[in-house]
Amino acid sequence: AQKITQTQPGMFVQEKEAVTLDCTYDTSDQSYGLFWYKQPSSGEMIFLIYQGSYDEQNATEGRYSLNFQKARKSANLVISASQLGDSAMYFCAMREGGSNYKLTFGKGTLLTVNP
């Protein structure tokens, strides 16, 4: 079974609107971390936001927020006020409790922001 599932291969959003990118995960660990990365067409991976399994509040970083629903094992990324520069691939990743090193990545969602 996949550990990270991103069910939306592609998403479209109008500039200045909000968009939610879905991510569900599968782990039996109590301690784990969830990360979101952005990959523009140039290829570099840019860290956006982190949520720990014991964090009681949803993480926020500027226009990015993470809608963490632990019981549902989901960690959706919300981008508010979309900008043209947000067009990119977005990857959800998980670090499980047994490893401080390994990140398991989902297959990604391609977000296109329309003017």
| Binding positions for other proteins, rule: CB under 8 A | 4, 31, 33, 35, 37, 42-47, 50, 52, 91, 93, 95, 97, 100-103, 105-108
Q: Smallest gap, in angstroms, from Cβ of residue 103 to other proteins?
A: 6
> Considering beta carbons, is residue 44 or 56 the nearer one to other proteins?
44
DSSP type of residue 3 = S
Distance between CA 90 and CA 97 in Å, rounded?
Answer: 23
* Smallest distance from other proteins to CB 58, Å: 15
Residue spans of beta strands (DSSP E) within 56-108 = 60-61, 64-69, 74-79, 88-96, 104-105
Of 44 and 115, the one with the shorter C-beta distance to other proteins is 44
CB 16 within 8 A of CB 84: no
